[in-house]
Amino acid sequence: MADEWAAFRTQPVTAPADDEWAAFRTSPLRSPGSSATPSPARDAALAFPSGIARGAAELAMFPVTANRLLQSGVDYLWDRADPVVRHFLGARPLPEGELQRRRDAAPSLDRDVFGAQDVARGAMNSVLYEPKTTAGEYARTIGEFAPSAAIGPGSAAFKAAGNALIPAITSETAGQLTEGTKAEPWARMAGGLAGNVAATGVRAYTQADNAMAAAAARGVSDAEYEAARRLQETGARIGVPLSGPEAIQEATSGATKLADLQRVVEGSPTGGQVTARFYSERPQQVATAANSAFDAIAPASPAPSTLGPRAAAAAQDALDETRRRINDTTRPFYRAAESHLLADADFDPIARDPAFQASLRRLRSDEVLGPTYRAMPDNSIAVVDAVTKDMRDRGVALGNSANPGFSSQTAGMYGSGAAEARDIARTPARGGSQAYDDALTMQEQARRQNLEPLEQGPLGRIAAANSTQSAYSELLPRNPLTGGTDEVLNAILRIREQEAGLPASLVRQSLADSFDAAGRRIATGENQSVGGRFANDVAGTPQQRTNLDAVLGAIGRPEAQPRINDLLDVFRATSQRRPMGSPTEPNRAINERLDRVTAPVAMAAAPASAGSTLFGEIRNRVRLAARDRAHNQLAELFTAPDSVERIRQLGLREAEAPWAAMLARQGLQFPAIYGH
């Protein structure tokens, strides 16, 4: 061993002029064996595992080999450069002995390590099988390339064929054609590189659609992919399958270019056939899913026109009940004040008012109210209270321009007269009653706090509704008041107290009518955007969505809210689909990129096409065929049930950089190429 290392150290690192790679191949790979030539099949079977062992060993020694090649290159350049420099300077070339002395004294990468590598190679070659036939030589080379085949993206089958089999065959073929010549190592290197480039180019060509999808989805986070995956699963569960781009666009708020890519695919002849089948069923899918979700709210009403009048009656009953409660609370105070009589002097300003006199006559002659106040004098608080109520009602009626007796002046006299009469009756200093003042104050506060909000809010408007549409539009308004959710909930709860299932029926009718309006048939046939239109109509604003969630939670149908929420989430995702139209800039840019990924094929056709219309047409047809294939593959990808997850995996693979991996693989196969 020491003698072998000493011999190595006494020899120059540079190769003899007749074989520049002799230093690298310090020992032959020809191992001793039987002179009998085995069959090609047997020879290949024995050579293949031997090649794997050699490839694995060379892969492990790659750092040393790389340093050695670098040192050889430095020495080679030194030997070539020194005479040239001396020639230009007019100096005489150094003798060979001096050159050798300087080489030995020059700093070197670890020569002892190089020597150890040579010894290891010699030991390996002495025990490993050496092929005897051409088939065996091919098998050995394939085995030598196999350990580095795992480097790079792709399936196991592609790695075996594209990363090992093809470059090994092209390398060995080039070596066989140039065997024994100075060009052999270069030919083997070129052959291996050509095989690697061809395999990687074929992968780029056949995976053009995947590359486009991954590029269009660039930047999507894991959380967004997970949200899109759940959304696609929800769509499948409710019967409205979503394409991958629709789900991802919805999860990212439209932050990818997948929708543009899908629009181009839909407009293509090949991809459009796939997507047309996928979307042709969507109108029926959407309708079935919507009706199923609506049924979770309430069954369809057999008489929808009656829902509005029933709701109006229930709302009016709720208002009346509130008034009764207020009156019941203040009645004891009124009763305490009813018997109080105003002095003549205090009553005189009231009695002389023409409006008071007219309302008093109506009270005394009224068939319903008259008997109640018959025994009470005109100056009693009870009569004054009753008369002033009529005065206020008359003032309101006469102040309405729609009434036949409209008179703003007369209305003003009724209103001011009632206010003055009550002020006298409730002010002790003017002869009035403190108990009456307490009763009026309490009732005014109760009405202001409890009754007026109901009368002026959704409940009051439902009470005044004259149709089902006007009633349910107060529960789910198209333009809701911001912050008005509690008013809607209060109306629902009060109507439920009157008729338990009525609010749910109204809500169901409202959503069903909105869905029907969104599904209006368009000129080109079925409206495939009905889901998105419906979601925008009923929950297009944050306040609309807040109101809808609150209403669904208040109608007493706990299963309805999650069903409707799932429906709206999926329907909103369907609106992420871009409408097809005339060619636009995104179409052109995407198609150009699809053309560029066919570069290996186009380059192959280019030399023959110079000045030839025939070959130019062939090249164009190849590019169109590649584009059609990419469109078809993208369509299949986008409409797959697991499209989101597949696009996610494509994004992960895009980061693997196949061309960089190819160069790394080629470098690791370098020792095997030049070991022959």
In the predicted model, is pLDDT for residue 297 greater than 70?
Answer: yes
Give the mean model confidence (pLDDT) for residues 215-240. Answer: 95
Query: Where are the extended beta strands (E) located within 459-565?
Result: none
Segment holding 577, helix H or strand E:
none
Q: How far apart, in Å, do the first and last CA atoms of the chain sit?
A: 24
pLDDT at residue 43, rounded to an integer: 80
**What's residue 599's pLDDT?**
46
Please state, in angstroms and as integers, the Cα–Cα distance from residue 645 to each residue in 224, 572, 581, 621, following that order. Answer: 11, 20, 29, 33
Q: Which pLDDT score is estimated for 579?
A: 78
Q: Are 535 and 572 in contact (CB under 8 A)?
A: yes
- CA torsion sign for 96, 98, 104, 106 is negative
Q: What distances in angstroms separate CA 464 from CA 312, 437, 477, one per listed residue?
A: 6, 32, 16
How confident is residue 5, by pLDDT bands cut at 50, 70 and 90?
very low
| Cβ atoms of residues 593 and 561 within 8 Å | no
**Close Cβ partners of 505 (under 8 Å, ≥ 6 residues apart):** 298, 301, 307
Encode 39-65 in three state secondary structure. CHHHHHHHHHHHHHHHHHHHHHCHHHH
Question: What does pLDDT average to over the chain?
Answer: 81
The confidence score (pLDDT) of residue 10 equals 40
Q: d(Cα 493, Cα 318) in Å, to the nearest integer?
A: 10
Place 12 in a pLDDT band, splitting at 50, 70 and 90: very low
8 Å CB contact between 59 and 147: yes
> Which amino acid is it at 188?
R
The pLDDT > 70 percentage for the chain reads 70
**Which tokens belong to 372?**
């109640």
Identify the pLDDT of residue 631.
87
pLDDT number for residue 70? 58
Among candidates 450, 487, 488, 503, which has minimal Cα distance to 320? 450
Predicted local confidence at residue 420, as pLDDT? 96
- HEC per residue, 128-151: CCCCCCHHHHHHHHHHHHHHHCCC
Number of helices (H), then strands (E), belonging to the chain: the values are 36, 0
**DSSP 8-class letter at 447:** I
- Which pLDDT band, with edges at 50, 70 and 90, does 19 fall under? very low
Q: What gap in Å lies between CA 255 and CA 219, rounded to an integer?
A: 9
pLDDT for res 187: 80
Which H or E run includes 123?
Answer: helix 111-127
Q: If you search the block for the tokens 């669904």, which residue do you land on? A: 552
Lowest mean pLDDT among 106-115, 161-170, 417-426: 106-115
In the chain, the amino acid numbered 42 is: R
- Bigger pLDDT: 523 or 583? 583
- Indicate the domain borders of the chain: 2-148, 299-340+433-556, 357-431
Q: Which of 88-97, 275-284, 409-418, 473-482 has the lowest mean pLDDT?
A: 88-97
CB 442 within 8 A of CB 329: yes
For residue 650, the model assigns a pLDDT of 84
pLDDT, greater one: 446 or 65: 446
Please state which of the ranges 286-290, 315-319, 655-659 shows the lowest mean pLDDT: 655-659
CA distance 418 to 391: 6
Res 32: pLDDT: 44
